């Protein structure tokens, strides 16, 4: 048998010494001569029509080199999902017609110092005709809610439908068969990534017409592609320099700082630096989506789940970003790693006038795991069945069919639970110790 070289051993981090000795270079450590600082002017309201943007006082302020507005953006769309066919584009790089969330970027001030840029940004006058915001997902999908998206409703459209659908078996027949109907509603609030290093970017225009972009993005080539699309710039003109991310967890996948800094460098011909304050990071970076999940389970007296119906509302905030993709993963994972013969899942990717959500550590899956395992515990307590047993009798076995029409080939939940019980000195009864993921006819008996 081949010996494992890593598993079970303590392995020294390649970058560990640099981190603890202060030798690691972060984006905030990078400075260039003649560099300008960037500060963003943001929407003070959650929803409204932009009537005018007056940058004259900011432009006349001593130490200000320029102000970047939507007119300076060659292709004024964040296009982070168009590369995988998720459309239509719905988020401008810089707002110019309307604002959809409190904090949406409108224009960028470039100045000799960070302090000057901050002071001058406060001089930009933006006239906004405020509209009533939609801030609750349940209200957003109700008939009474105003449509905040240009296509006439408040959800992402999946092949002409307002939500992702998963159908397997006959859920109503399953409920009719069940001895118990057990319901639960589970909600999660938005979660901020809180990286140690905030979003930061430094762009240096080169003599040959290229741009060196220092960025703490998590996805260097993804950022390069999307920045090029926004700038209408050939790929070879952008040299992305990554390295130390400074913490990301999914929050530094969005292509937020790089296009703006490049546009500022093009406009001024000078190096540009934009680093977010901790307040900006907390208030304006994307979050893990808030989500509300409603479970209805049909369960037999012996603990077998014979039907599961789930409705989930995922709060994308004002714009797509990665939420439509996250909602698809969410849909597939809401039934859980359990063999349930009748499944009905509806997942809505809902738009509200809140801070946009995006990727975060297994987004879509993590939220589902939380809700369904609390629901499993509720089932166990309602029926008076041991928590370990309720999971093991319903766990997938190899050869069974998942609701997403994929045959299970690598089930390990039974063995994982058995190992976990041993690690915490929990003595499982013999019939649970004998269970196996390869025993197709064990478990809950569903086909």
Q: For the chain, give the percent of residues with pLDDT over 70.
A: 98
- How far apart CA 155 and CA 140 sit, in angstroms, is 8
Q: Which residues contact 269 (CB under 8 A, 6 or more apart)?
A: 205
What pLDDT, on a 0 to 100 scale, did the predictor assign at position 1?
Answer: 54
What's this model's pTM, rounded to 2 decimal places? 0.93
Cα 242 to chain centroid distance, Å, stands at 21
Q: What is the pLDDT of residues 274-322, one digit of tens each?
A: 999 999 999 999 999 999 999 999 999 999 999 999 999 999 999 999 9
Region 422-431 average pLDDT: 96
Q: Residue 86: pLDDT band by 50, 70, 90 thresholds?
A: confident
Tell me, yes or no, whether 16 lies in a domain. no
331 shares its domain with 361:
yes
- The CATH number covering residue 234 comes to 3.90.1170.50
Q: Residue 442: pLDDT band by 50, 70, 90 thresholds?
A: very low
CA dihedral 245, 248, 249, 255 (to 10 degrees): -110
Of 253, 284, 315, which one is at a domain's C-terminal end? 284
What pLDDT, on a 0 to 100 scale, did the predictor assign at position 445?
Answer: 45
Q: Which residues contact 121 (CB under 8 A, 6 or more apart)?
A: 39, 40, 41, 58, 109
Q: What is the pLDDT of residues 159-179, one digit of tens each?
A: 999 999 999 999 999 999 999
The answer to whether 273 and 31 have CB atoms below 8 angstroms apart is yes
179 shares its domain with 197:
no
Number of domain units in the chain: 2
Region 345-357 average pLDDT: 98
Query: Is a pLDDT exceeding 90 seen at residue 133?
Result: yes
Q: What is the pLDDT of residues 328-341, one digit of tens each?
A: 999 999 999 999 99
170 shares its domain with 271:
no
102 shares its domain with 197:
yes
Q: For the chain, give the percent of residues with pLDDT over 90.
A: 91
315 shares its domain with 379:
yes
Q: Which residues constitute the domain of residue 220?
A: 35-131+193-284
Q: What is the pLDDT of residues 382-406, one digit of tens each?
A: 999 999 999 999 999 999 999 999 9
Where are the strands (E) in 55-192, listed by range? 64-68, 98-99, 105-111, 125-130, 164-168, 180-188
Calculate ∠ Cα 176-398-301, nearest 5°. Answer: 30
- The CATH number covering residue 384 comes to 3.30.365.10
What pLDDT, on a 0 to 100 scale, did the predictor assign at position 73?
Answer: 98
- How far apart CA 133 and CA 98 sit, in angstroms, is 12
Of 262, 284, 306, which one is at a domain's C-terminal end? 284
Q: Residue 84: pLDDT band by 50, 70, 90 thresholds?
A: confident
Of 232, 249, 284, which one is at a domain's C-terminal end? 284
316 shares its domain with 423:
yes
Tell me, yes or no, whether 17 lies in a domain. no
pLDDT higher for 32 or 80? 32
Q: Which residues contact 338 (CB under 8 A, 6 or more apart)?
A: 305, 376, 391, 394, 395, 396
Which has the minimum average pLDDT: 11-20, 116-125, 275-284, 349-358?
A: 11-20
Region 347-372 average pLDDT: 96
Q: For 401, what's the count of Cα atoms within 13 Å in the CB-facing half-sphere?
A: 11
Average pLDDT score over the chain: 95
Query: Is a pLDDT exceeding 90 seen at residue 12?
Result: no
């Amino acid at each position: 048998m081949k010996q494992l070289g890593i598993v079970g051993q303590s392995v020294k981090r390649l970058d560990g010494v640099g981190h603890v000795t202060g030798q690691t270079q972060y984006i905030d450590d990078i400075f260039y001569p003649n560099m300008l600082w960037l500060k963003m002017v943001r929407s003070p309201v959650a929803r409204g029509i932009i009537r005018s943007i007056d940058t004259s006082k900011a432009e006349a302020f001593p130490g200000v080199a320029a102000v970047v507005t939507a007119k300076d953006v060659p292709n004024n769309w964040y296009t982070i999902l168009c590369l995988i066919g998720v459309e239509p584009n719905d988020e401008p790089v810089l707002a110019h017609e309307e604002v959809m969330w409190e904090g949406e970027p409108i224009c960028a001030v470039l100045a000799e110092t960070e302090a000057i840029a901050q002071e001058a940004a406060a001089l930009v006058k933006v006239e906004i005709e405020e509209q009533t915001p939609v801030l609750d997902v349940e209200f957003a999908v109700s008939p009474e809610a105003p449509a905040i998206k240009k296509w006439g409703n408040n959800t992402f459209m999946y092949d002409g439908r307002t939500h992702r659908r998963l159908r397997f078996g006959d859920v109503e027949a399953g409920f009719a068969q069940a001895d118990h109907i057990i319901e639960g509603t589970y909600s999660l609030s938005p979660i901020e990534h809180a990286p140690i290093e905030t979003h930061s970017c430094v762009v240096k225009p080169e003599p040959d017409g290229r741009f060196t972009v220092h960025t703490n993005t998590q996805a260097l080539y993804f950022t390069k592609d999307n920045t090029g699309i926004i700038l209408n710039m050939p790929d070879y003109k952008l040299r992305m320099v990554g390295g130390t991310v400074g913490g990301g967890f999914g929050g530094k996948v969005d292509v937020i700082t790089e296009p703006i800094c490049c546009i500022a460098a093009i406009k001024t011909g000078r190096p540009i630096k934009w680093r977010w304050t901790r307040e900006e990071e907390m208030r304006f970076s994307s979050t893990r989506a808030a989500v509300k999940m409603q479970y209805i389970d049909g369960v037999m007296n012996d603990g077998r789940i014979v039907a599961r119906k789930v409705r989930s509302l995922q709060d994308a905030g004002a714009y797509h970003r990665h939420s439509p993709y996250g909602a698809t993963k969410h849909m597939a994972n809401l039934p859980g790693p359990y063999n349930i013969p009748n499944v009905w899942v509806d997942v809505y990717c809902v738009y509200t006038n809140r801070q946009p959500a995006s990727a975060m550590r297994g987004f879509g899956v993590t939220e589902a795991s939380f809700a369904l395992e609390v629901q499993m515990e509720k089932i166990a307590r309602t029926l008076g069945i041991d928590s370990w047993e309720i999971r093991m009798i319903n766990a997938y076995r190899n050869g069974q069919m998942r609701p997403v029409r994929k045959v299970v080939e690598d089930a390990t939940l039974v063995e994982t639970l058995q190992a976990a019980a041993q690690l915490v000195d929990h003595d499982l009864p013999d019939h649970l110790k004998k269970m196996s993921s390869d025993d197709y006819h064990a478990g809950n008996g569903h086909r």
